[in-house]
Structure formats: structure tokens, C-alpha cells
Amino acid sequence: MPITDLLEKNAAEYGDDVCLVELNPEIKENRRKTWKDYELIESNPREPYRREITWSVFDEKANRFANMLMGRGIKKGEKVGILMMNCLEWLPIYFGVLKTGAIAVPFNFRYSSDEILYCAKLAEIDVLVFGPEFVGRIEEIADELMQKRLLIYAGDNCPSFADDYQTLANNCSSRNPGVKISDEDYGAIYFSSGTTGFPKAILHKHKALMHSCKVEQNHHGQTREDVFLCIPPLYHTGAKMHWFGSLLSGGKAVLLKGTKPEFVLDAVSKEKCTIVWLLVPWAQDILEAIESGRVRLDDYELSQWRLMHIGAQPVPKSLIKKWKEVFPKHQYDTNYGLSESIGPGCVHLGVENINKVGCIGKAGYGWQTKIVDEGGQPVSQGEVGELIVKGPGVMVEYYNDPKATSEVLKDGWLYTGDMAMEDEDGFILLVDRKKDVIISGGENLYPVQIEDFIRTNKAVHDVAVIGIPDKRLGEVSCAIIELKEGAGMSEDEMNEFCLKLPRYKRPRKIIFADIPRNPTGKIEKPKLREMYGGKGLVASQNES
């Protein structure tokens, strides 16, 4: 069945139950409501800004938006872009699009005006819904966007070049629009993260969205009593597909704006959150805040928090070892996936396999995996090859890009571009991105292995290893290292620390600088290569 049926089921069975809460701790005073018919919880001005809606209101809002779109001529199969920060309006708008039979197209909130226009053309969107944070960017390209597209503004003080979402939707029926949707209908287009170049438009069917619900609940056992804390951006498959477990179970979720350790722990405490999905930097920040004494766990009620899971990038063993020391009762899981495989879950560790931390796990619910060589043939256990996956969540195609599609989809298998190996128990260990592998003097270097070692140094907050040009060896490894606040370390000290590595794995150049990560937590290595790997930067030949 299509995923919209789950929303309607929850509205019918749990209509008066709160399903979504929005918290914005950075706002120090209450703001007026953006929707007249749901409640703003008034509180002390020093407390976080908090809004909530029930399942019935969620469904009504989705229906109103769907009927509004259809009244403006939007038909099944057309495409509606969503460019908004996380908020209570986001998911009702997304489901309103789906209820029309149109295709939802979430946009990365970091896109510049040019990137917004590029993606709008790439996905051939017919409507763009945008929030107040993007007025300036949209205004720069409004004339070109409006030539073929309807612009709808979701917020206060609607600009002159757009239609007002609230006015339009409030005047529409709250009844189900009655569009027949099947599992085989197209449901969403997601853009790739762009860490390897320009974003690609990833097309998924409704059956893929539905499968992600089943995967998430199968892996993490959500019930109606669970409360999911959602921090990452909803435009990305990771956050939304983890929330789909709450959708399937009818449980509550909390949308938290802000990633400071105090914000996370306060939200868990006050909203009684039981499941939290973190990115590596946020987990590191929480541990460092506790270690430094800036945060005291006794100040929070955390006994109900049962599961912490991480995805979107390789997870250092040292991080989880420390986490379990601080939170010994927590279940832990690693989730692996791509937007091309409808987000997290095609591979996962499993809460019962804490002894295998460092691996990404085995094939997830309903998924198959292989590790293959350049010719597509399975490699032997213990050998490195490319991870490929197959299952109901594999994308249809890169929209309007048959060449790129043919490069990654072969006989139903999705070639992930990630290099991996299986251990003796069949657990998959992620080695590195295929495009990130450094070939130095004919030897393959896998940056993740070097990064994992460097992270064991107590002074290191974050690290990225890239290849930089070298006249003799072609390229050599360069470690960009971000130190913890107040920590000091010299290049010589780091080189001495790295003597524990095999000689060929030791970084040939050390740079102390900040590590850029995108909103889903992935290190932006193309940006680092642009900064440090261009002409004029020649690696020092550190032969120690």
C-alpha cells in the first residue's frame, strides 16, 4: 500500500495523540503562531520555543495542501519541490504532495540560488514551496523560476513574487482528495549529497518509501510508546526514513533545531525521548561536553533513552567504546544506506551485535548484499571489493540521466561506490569510498583506516585524509586534523604518534584546520581537495 495510507490510519486510530513536536532552543522569546488552528505552548521566555500537532491535524493539513495543489492544476506525476528548514509544516506539506499523486522533491537547505535553479530544472519541478529562510535566494532567481513554475511561500509576510501557502491551504477542504495511488507510482525525487560532484536526481516509487518504513521498524522495534528525536534535515532520506518507523508505529517524534549537547540532552529529558539518531560529530560533541564538565548528566532525566544509532558515515570504534562507558545501558546500532537505496537500512549492524562495532553489519531487512571486483564477480571473504545491494528500496533511476543510471544499476543491483570487505563472520566492514581511495606508488591507501587511527589521539576532534599530488608517487596522503577546543599539538607530535601505523599508511603531510561536513554529517572531501590538493601544494616527503 502507499505510505499515505499509514497517515490516514494513524489519524483514524490515534487522532488526538500528539505526533510531532517542534523545539527551537535558540529562540529566546515566543513567536506568534504560523497556523491559527494549532496550539503554541506558551512558556517562560527563557524556555525553548515549542509547537505540537496531533495525527488528525497532521492529516487535515496534508489534505488541505493536496486539495490546494489540485485546485491549481497539479496532477498525478507532476513534481513539487520543498525548500524548507525542519518545522511542523514540513511533513504535512510532503504528505500533501504525495496525496495528489504528484512527486515530492525535497531540496537541500544549503543550496545557493544557482544550485536551486539547477535542481529545479534537473527534476523538472512544477511547483516550489519555500520557507522564510530562503526568500533572498529565491528572489534572485524568481523571474526564471516563475516562467514555468508556481512559487508558494510557507511563512509570515509573503513576498510579492509568491503565493501565500497559509491563505491558499486554509480555504481548501480538509477531506482526502481521493486520488488513487499504487505501490508502482512514482513518489519522490531526492538529490544526491553532491560530495562527488553536481547533485543527481534520484527517483523512487511509493513501494520504496513503504519498504523503508518496514526496514526501520524491523531494525529498531518502534512502538507507540517510543519517542524519536529527529535532528538531521528532513530533506535528506536519512532523517525522514528513520522517522518512518514512528509513522508505521503511530509514535511521537520531536524535531529539534540545533545540535548543541545541551539542546539534545534537554530535549531527550523533557520530551521523554527513547530513540535518538546522531551523526558522528554530534556524538563526539556530547562526549566532550560531558568529559569537560560543561554538561552534567545528573541535570537530565535520561533513563528512558534506550537506543542511540548512527549513520551517514563510518563510525570510529573509539567513539562507541567511549559512548558505552558513559551510557552503558544504551542499545547501539549502525545504519548504512544511500539516497539511491531510499536511505538507511540496506545494511545495519543490529543492536545484538555490539561486539562487532567497527563493521556496518549485514544485509538489512528485505535486502541482499555482495562485494564484487571490477568485473562484478564476488571477491573472497577478507578481500576488498565494491559493495553492491539489491532490494525493494533501490531507486528507479537517476532522473533524465540514463548514462549515470547505467553506471550504477546493473541487473537490479545498485553499485554503491563504497569499498568494503567481509570478516570471518560475514559482517561487512566499510573500507572507503571508491573515489576516495588514494593510490600512492601503486599501493592502495584507504583514508578511513588512517582516520580511525588518528581519532584515537585524545587531542583530535575530527580528521579527514585526502590524496594530494606528488611528483614521484602520483599522490600521497594528507591528514587535515581538527583539534579539540583547548588542545595543542604540533606536526612533529602527530608524526610521532603516527609511527604506530605501517610506514606506507603514515600521512605525508599534516594540516591543522577545521573539517567541513555537510548537513548529513559527511566530510566534504571535494572541498578539502579544492582547498589543499591543487597546484602549488607539494607534499613534504616525510620518510620517518
- Which pLDDT score is estimated for 358? 83
- Which pLDDT score is estimated for 472? 62
pLDDT, one tens digit per residue, over 225-275 is: 999 999 988 998 888 889 999 999 999 999 999 889 999 999 999 999 999
Nearest to 328 by CA among 302, 358, 346: 302
More confident residue, 313 or 508: 508
- Which pLDDT score is estimated for 264? 96
Give yes or no for a contact between 389 and 347, defined as CB atoms under 8 angstroms apart.
Answer: yes
Partners of 464 in beta bridges: 480
Query: Residue 519: is its pLDDT beyond 70?
Result: no
pLDDT, one tens digit per residue, over 456-489 is: 898 999 898 888 887 666 678 899 999 988 888 9
pLDDT, one tens digit per residue, over 50-99 is: 999 999 999 999 999 999 999 999 999 999 999 999 999 999 999 999 99
Residues 11-33 have a mean pLDDT of 79
pLDDT, one tens digit per residue, over 487-504 is: 889 999 999 999 988 787
Nearest to 10 by CA among 63, 56, 62, 61: 56
Question: What is Dmax (Cα atoms) for the chain?
Answer: 73
pLDDT band at 125 (very low <50, low <70, confident <90, very high): very high
Residue 54 contacts by C-beta under 8 Å, 6 or more apart in sequence?
15, 16, 17, 18, 19
| Torsion-angle region of 486 (φ positive above 0: left; ψ -120 to 50: alpha; else: beta) | left
- Which pLDDT score is estimated for 195? 43
174-188, 277-291, 393-407: least confident range: 277-291
- Which pLDDT score is estimated for 54? 97
- Which pLDDT score is estimated for 534? 47
More confident residue, 433 or 542: 433
Spatial separation of the C-alpha atoms in residues 76 and 121, rounded to whole Å:
19
Residues 373-392 have a mean pLDDT of 94
Single pTM value for the model: 0.81
Given the DSSP bridges, would you call strands 252-256 and 275-278 parallel, antiparallel or unpaired?
Answer: unpaired
Where are the CATH 3.30.300.30 domain residues in the chain?
Answer: 443-532
Spatial separation of the C-alpha atoms in residues 448 and 320, rounded to whole Å:
16
Residue 66 contacts by C-beta under 8 Å, 6 or more apart in sequence?
96, 97, 99, 100, 177, 179
pLDDT, one tens digit per residue, over 297-353 is: 999 999 999 999 987 666 778 888 999 999 999 999 988 888 999 988 899 999 999
Query: How does the average pLDDT of the chain come out, rounded?
Result: 87
Spatial separation of the C-alpha atoms in residues 527 and 323, rounded to whole Å:
30
pLDDT band at 3 (very low <50, low <70, confident <90, very high): very high
Nearest to 195 by CA among 463, 522, 419, 534: 522
pLDDT band at 543 (very low <50, low <70, confident <90, very high): very low
SS3 469: strand
- Which pLDDT score is estimated for 196? 45
Residue 304 contacts by C-beta under 8 Å, 6 or more apart in sequence?
272, 273, 274
pLDDT band at 39 (very low <50, low <70, confident <90, very high): very low
- Which pLDDT score is estimated for 349? 93
- Which pLDDT score is estimated for 204? 97
8-state DSSP, 214? H
Output the DSSP codes for 392-407: TTS-SEETT-HHHHHH
- Which pLDDT score is estimated for 6? 96
Cell of 43: 512558556
pLDDT band at 128 (very low <50, low <70, confident <90, very high): very high
pLDDT band at 36 (very low <50, low <70, confident <90, very high): very low
Q: How far is CA 368 from CA 312, 348, 521, in A?
A: 19, 12, 26
- Which pLDDT score is estimated for 431? 78
- Which pLDDT score is estimated for 432? 65
Give the helix/strand (H/E) hosting 199: none
pLDDT, one tens digit per residue, over 440-454 is: 755 667 787 788 889
- Which pLDDT score is estimated for 391? 96
Give the helix/strand (H/E) hosting 319: helix 317-326
pLDDT, one tens digit per residue, over 524-540 is: 777 888 788 743 333 33
8-state DSSP, 424? T
- For the chain, percent helix, then strand, then coil, each to nearest 5? 35, 25, 40
Class of residue 164 by CB neighbours under 10 A (exposed 0-12, middle 13-18, buried 19+): middle
Question: Would you tell me which CATH number, out of the four given (3.40.50.300, 3.40.228.10, 3.30.300.30, 3.90.79.10), belongs to the domain 443-532?
Answer: 3.30.300.30
How many residues would you count in the chain?
544
pLDDT, one tens digit per residue, over 159-196 is: 999 999 989 888 899 999 999 999 999 999 999 865 44
Where are the CATH 3.40.50.12780 domain residues in the chain?
Answer: 4-16+54-204
Give the helix/strand (H/E) hosting 476: strand 474-483
- Which pLDDT score is estimated for 433? 66
Spatial separation of the C-alpha atoms in residues 529 and 121, rounded to whole Å:
28
108-112, 377-381, 446-450: least confident range: 446-450
Spatial separation of the C-alpha atoms in residues 163 and 218, rounded to whole Å:
41
Cell of 435: 573515489
- Which pLDDT score is estimated for 44? 38
Which CATH superfamily, name and number, covers 4-16+54-204? ANL, N-terminal domain (3.40.50.12780)
